[in-house]
Structures are given as C-alpha cells and as structure tokens.
C-alpha cells in the first residue's frame, strides 16, 4: 500500500481508497468496486463526510432490529470485505448475527477468499459458500444460502443493488441498507436506510450494540416504533442541501435555490 502521511488533509479518504485498491489486488474486491467507491465518495462529500444526526438514529434502529431478530444476517460483498472486515466480524459477534458472503460479480474464488479473510479476522462461521437457494432475480446476487439470507428475518445489506433490496423486502424481511445515496432504489426500498459511509456506520452500530445489548425487549421495540424511515431520508436530503449552501457561501459561489 502507498504510505499516506497522517497529516494529509484527505487522510481518511485516501486510506479508504488504498483499502479498496488492495482488495482488488488481493482478488476479493471486484474492479467495479472501485467505481462504486468513487460514487460513494461523491455522496459522502455532499453529506459532509460525517455521520449526520438522522443516520445515527437509523443506526440505533437498525441495531434494535438486529438484536430483536431471530435470524439476523449481515450480507458481505467485495467492498465491505476490503473496507471493514474487523467491524463486520465485531458487529456479528456483539449482535449474534450470521455473516454471509453475497456477491454481484460472483465467482467461487472470490466467495472463498472473502470467507477466509473474515475468518482471519476472527469469524468462526461464514455463510455464502453453499449457495443452495435462489432468490427470484436474474443475476448472481440471487444465489444465497438456505440457512442464511434465504431464511433470515432481518438482513443488513451494505452497498446493495436496488432490485435485490426490493426482493428481500417483498419476501417480508426487514432490510437495513447502508447507502450514501439517499435516493437510490436500495435506500428507498429498505425498512431502515442508513445514509452514512459504511466505515463510520459499522463503527457506530458496534457502539450502539454494546450499549443496547442488555436493553429489554420492550425498550428495543420502542426504538423501532419511534423510528420513521421517510423522515430519515428527508433529513439526509436536507443535510445535502444545507452542506451545498454552506460550501458555496464559504467559497463565495452564488447559490440559487
């Protein structure tokens, strides 16, 4: 990896890029993952490269859903494997969720590399290698494990494709999406939409999971009851508008709205 000096003003962003490039080099991230990361970075700039308040609310609600679930599953693709392998394993540990590798650009080699990567970060069991069930979709994200995503009641899908998110929701599952684009099909069809970078979102969710793990069923249900996903999406759009306004003011650029 290229050495990035700590005092570089874009240190976090450059390290993230390095991780994705390294993932491609190691063969667990697809080349398309580089493009997806670029798209994510653009949206991250628009929300100010920080967890906005409504995203933290969504992260808490997501953790409440996972803690209350009977069969929660965290779906892992090539980008999340490259960016946050430790956090995926830690969140699974703290919440009792299963980890399942599920890829759009699927190959057995990539699936097994990601399974091994997660195990090297402490995961005991990682699903996704069997692929013994299919969702009703025409691409390879349809291939899932019968004991994992197929029978899950709650699925966490970071950086997901819109049609699979819709399909999982149609199957009656609670779908938690992490997607920096608040207007993507994924964001609009999820039960809980976390508009945050996956690198921050998982850290925050681990923090909430530690905090909420011993909460009563009733108090977790109250968190879910008080949650309004359309308000969270509206707030993300408002945050983008305000950020653009503030940036144009700071830079002396005319703002028309």
30 or 174: whose CB is closer to ligand PTJ? 30
| Per-residue binding letters, 19-38, with ligand PTJ (x by CB under 6 A) | -----------x-xx--xx-
Window 46 to 105, contacts with ligand PTJ (CB under 6 A): 77-79, 103-105
Q: How many residues bind ligand PTJ (CB under 6 A)?
A: 23
User: Is position 203 an interface residue for ligand PTJ (rule: CB under 6 A)?
Assistant: no
B/e letters for 140-157, b = 16+ CB within 10 Å, e = fewer, are ebbbbbebbbbebebbbb
Choice between 191 and 199, CB closer to ligand PTJ: 199
Q: Are 204 and 212 in contact (CB under 8 A)?
A: no
Minimal CB distance to ligand PTJ: which residue?
Answer: 40
Cβ atoms of 158 and 80 within 8 Å: the answer is: yes
Q: What is the full DSSP assignment across 10-74?
A: THHHHHHHHHHHHHHHHTSS-THHHHHHHHHHHHHHHHTSS--HHHHHHHHHHHHHHHH-SSEEE
* Selected range binding ligand PTJ among 118-126, 130-138, 180-188, 220-228, rule: CB under 6 A: 180-188
Residue list 100-129, contact with ligand PTJ (CB under 6 A): 103-105
Q: How far is CA 204 from CA 82, 93, 177, 197, in A?
A: 18, 15, 14, 11
Of the pair 57, 220, the CB lying nearest ligand PTJ is at 57
Check binding of 159 to ligand PTJ (CB under 6 A).
Answer: yes
Nearer to ligand PTJ, 45 or 104 (CB): 104
Q: Are 41 and 32 in contact (CB under 8 A)?
A: no
DSSP result, 57-126: HHHHHHHHHHHH-SSEEEEE-HHHHHH-HHHHHHHHHHHT-EEEE--SS--HHHHHHHHHHHHHTT-S-E
Does position 178 interact with ligand PTJ (CB under 6 A)? The reply is yes
179 binds ligand PTJ (CB under 6 A): yes
Smaller CB separation from ligand PTJ, 37 or 220: 37
State which of residues 58, 176, 198, 205 lies at the interface with ligand PTJ (CB under 6 A).
198
Tell whether residue 43 is a contact of ligand PTJ (CB under 6 A): yes
Residues found near ligand PTJ in the complex (CB under 6 A): 30, 32-33, 36-37, 39-40, 43, 77-79, 103-105, 159, 161, 178-181, 184, 197-198
């Amino acid at each position: 990896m290229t050495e990035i000096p700590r005092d570089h003003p874009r240190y976090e962003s450059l390290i993230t890029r390095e991780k994705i490039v390294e993932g491609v080099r190691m063969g667990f991230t697809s080349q398309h993952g580089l493009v997806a990361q670029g798209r994510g970075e653009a949206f991250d700039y628009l929300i100010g490269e920080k967890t906005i308040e409504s995203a933290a609310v969504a992260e808490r609600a997501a953790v409440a859903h996972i803690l209350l679930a009977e069969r929660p599953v965290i779906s892992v693709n090539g980008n999340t494997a490259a960016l946050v392998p430790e956090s995926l394993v830690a969140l699974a540990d703290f919440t009792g969720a299963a980890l399942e590798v599920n890829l759009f650009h699927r190959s057995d080699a990539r699936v097994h590399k990601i399974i091994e990567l997660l195990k090297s970060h402490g995961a005991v069991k990682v699903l996704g290698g069997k692929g013994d069930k299919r969702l009703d979709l025409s691409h390879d994200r349809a291939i899932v494990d019968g004991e994992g995503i197929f029978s899950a009641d709650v699925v966490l899908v970071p950086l997901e494709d819109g049609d699979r998110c819709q399909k999982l929701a149609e199957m009656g599952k609670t779908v938690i999406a992490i997607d920096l684009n608040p207007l993507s099909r994924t964001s609009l069809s999820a039960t809980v939409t976390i508009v945050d970078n996956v690198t921050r979102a998982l850290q925050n969710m681990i923090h909430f999971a530690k905090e909420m793990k011993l909460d009563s069923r009733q108090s977790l249900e109250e968190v879910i009851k008080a949650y309004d996903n359309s308000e969270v999406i509206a707030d993300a759009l408002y945050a983008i508008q305000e950020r653009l306004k503030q940036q144009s003011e700071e830079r002396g650029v005319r703002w028309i709205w």
